[in-house]
């Protein structure tokens, strides 16, 4: 789904890849993500937020690269930020929205924590050069692959 970036470390030869953005299957992915949140797959805090926010909540479920502000390591995660419609009259059960869609505001912001050090992570705006998970060398991606 979205764009896949593949890397091969110029130092240790390790290969790694990340996926970013959205593809054709995004409405289904959003639907699954909302169901997952409702089922408690993302923890009690998110389950409760969803239950309190009601069935009009939507999610972008975009694949994003997050970078730890403390140790600098990165992770490829799904942004599960929940959005609520500005007006109550919005059509029901439309769980799929895209970033920047009008008529919605952030209901609960997803702030991932680093699996290495527990620090707060920030979204990388441009994903080009990423450090090797094995040796830390910064590499550039090979040709982009569009996938859905």
Q: Which chain residues interact with Zn ion by CB under 5 A?
A: 9, 11-12, 14, 68, 70-71, 114, 116-117, 119, 132, 134-135, 137
Give the CA radius of gyration of the chain.
17
> Are 84 and 53 in contact, with CB atoms under 8 Å apart?
yes
**23 vs 119 by CB, closer to Zn ion:** 119
Q: Which is nearer to Zn ion, 9 or 59 (CB)?
A: 9
What's the min distance (Å) between Cβ of 17 and Zn ion? 14
- C-beta closer to Zn ion: residue 28 or 71: 71
> In whole angstroms, how close is the CB of 73 to Zn ion at the nearest point?
5
Smallest gap, in angstroms, from Cβ of residue 3 to Zn ion? 22
Question: Smallest Cα–Cα separation from 122: which of 138, 107, 111, 133?
Answer: 111
Partner residues linked to 68 by β-bridges:
121
Greatest distance between any 2 Cα atoms in the chain: 56
């Amino acid at each position: 789904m979205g764009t896949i970036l593949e890397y091969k470390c110029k130092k240790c030869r390790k290969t790694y890849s990340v996926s970013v953005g959205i593809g054709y299957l995004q409405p289904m992915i959003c639907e699954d993500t909302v169901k997952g949140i409702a089922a408690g797959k993302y923890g009690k805090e998110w389950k409760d937020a969803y239950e309190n926010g009601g069935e009009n909540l939507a999610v972008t479920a975009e694949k994003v690269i997050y970078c730890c502000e403390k140790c600098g390591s990165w992770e490829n995660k799904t942004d599960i930020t929940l959005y609520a419609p500005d007006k109550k009259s919005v059509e029901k059960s439309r769980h799929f929205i895209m970033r920047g869609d009008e008529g919605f505001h952030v209901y609960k912001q997803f702030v991932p924590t680093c699996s290495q050090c527990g620090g707060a992570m920030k979204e990388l705006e441009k994903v080009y050069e990423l450090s090797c998970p094995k040796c830390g060398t910064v590499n550039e991606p090979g040709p982009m692959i569009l996938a859905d």
